[in-house]
Amino acid sequence: MHRFLLQLLLILVSVVTGLAAHPKVSRDIHNGPSGSNVDVIIQYKRMPQARHHALVTSRGGSHKRDLGAIHGAHYSVPVNALDHIANDPDVVGIHPDRTLNALNDVTVATTGANLASGFGLDGAGIGVAVIDSGIVNDHPDLKGRVVYEQNFAAGDTKDHYGHGSHVAGIIGGNGNKSSGLQYSRFLRGIAPNVNFIDLRALDATGAGSDSNVIAAITTAINLRAKYNIRVLNLSLGRGLTGSQ
C-alpha cells in the first residue's frame, strides 16, 4: 500500500512539474499559444555570444538585435522552445517584448525645478537623451539644439506622433514660439538651454517595445561622454503583466 502511494505521488509530481512554467520564463509568455512564435528579450549573465544565438536558432528562433545595456538580446522564439533555452545556465531570465505607450503626467510642480532657475541654472552644456516618439528639430523652441538623432522604431526619425516633441518642450523649450505682444503667456521648459539627443523608440501611433527602449538606452550610455548626457528621459509606460 505504501509503495503504491509512493508511486502515485511520483507520478503526480512529474505531471505537475511538466505543467509548471520554468522559473526563468515570465509567466505571461506561457499564457500564449504553444505553437506560435513570440518576441522575447533574453537576459544573460554576460553579453550574449554566437553560441547563445545558435541555441535559439537551433530551436526555430531568430536573433533580431543585441541589447547591451542589460547583457541581453531580442529574439523571436517558438513558445514551446522557451523552457529548453532557459535551461542554459547563462540565461538570467526570458521576458516578453511587451508593448508600451507614451506617458507624461507631472513635471515642474513635483520636481521643484523652478527653484533651480532662480539660481541661473538653465541646462547650458548639458545633454538630455529623450527616448520617445522623436523630436521636431526645427520647432522654434527647440531649433539648433537637437545634436543627435537615431531611430529604433519603424519609419524615419521624424516625430509623427507628437509626444516626444511635447516632452522635449517641457524639458527644455526656450519659449521662442510664445514670445511677443500677441501672446498672453510665455511658455518655457524647465532647462531652456539643454541640448537634445533624440532617440526615437515609438512609432507614428505612439507605440513601441521594450527592446526598442533598451537599445535606445544602450545608445545613450555609449554617447554620454560625447554629448555630456546627464539626463535620460523616458515618459513611457505599460501595465504590469508579470513578475519578471
> Is there a domain that residue 157 lies in?
yes
Same domain, 48 and 132: no
> Is there a domain that residue 15 lies in?
no
Can you tell me whether residue 34 is helix, strand or coil?
coil
Which residue range is the domain that position 131 belongs to? Answer: 101-237
At 187, is the pLDDT very low, low, confident or very high (cuts 50, 70, 90)?
Answer: confident
Q: What is the mean pLDDT of the chain?
A: 86
According to the model, what pLDDT value does residue 78 have? 95
| Residue 155 CB contacts under 8 Å (≥ 6 apart), including other chains | 203, 204
**For the segment 102-149, what is each residue's pLDDT rounded down to a tens digit?**
765 556 556 777 777 778 888 999 999 999 999 999 999 999 999 999
According to the model, what pLDDT value does residue 220 have? 98
- Which of 97, 112, 143 is the C-terminal boundary of a domain? 97
According to the model, what pLDDT value does residue 33 have? 64
Domain harbouring 50, CATH code: 3.30.70.80
According to the model, what pLDDT value does residue 58 have? 96
d(CA 212, CA 243): 21
- Taking the alpha carbons of 206, 207, 208, 209 in that order, is the dihedral positive or negative? positive
Same domain, 112 and 183: yes
Question: Taking the model in full, what pTM does it have?
Answer: 0.74
According to the model, what pLDDT value does residue 108 have? 58
**For the segment 72-105, what is each residue's pLDDT rounded down to a tens digit?**
999 999 999 999 999 999 999 999 999 988 765 5
- Which of 78, 97, 116 is the C-terminal boundary of a domain? 97
d(CA 238, CA 132): 14
Q: What is the count of structural domains for the chain? A: 2
212 membership: H or E segment, kind and range: helix 210-223
Same domain, 123 and 173: yes
**For the segment 31-48, what is each residue's pLDDT rounded down to a tens digit?**
666 668 999 999 999 999
> Which of the two residues, 89 and 175, has the higher pLDDT score?
89
Same domain, 127 and 217: yes
> Is there a domain that residue 244 lies in?
no
According to the model, what pLDDT value does residue 19 have? 42
Same domain, 106 and 191: yes
Q: Is the predicted pLDDT of residue 3 greater than 80, yes or no?
A: no
Same domain, 33 and 128: no
d(CA 72, CA 66): 6
Please name which of 55, 47, 99 lies closest in space to residue 78, comparing C-alpha atoms. 55
> Is there a domain that residue 43 lies in?
yes
Same domain, 220 and 174: yes
Same domain, 49 and 93: yes
Q: Is 117 exposed, middle or buried (0-12, 13-18, 19+ CB in 10 A)?
A: middle
At 6, is the pLDDT very low, low, confident or very high (cuts 50, 70, 90)?
Answer: very low
Same domain, 127 and 77: no
> Is there a domain that residue 194 lies in?
yes
Q: Cα separations (Å) of 81 from 34, 88, 155, 188, 234? A: 9, 12, 31, 52, 33
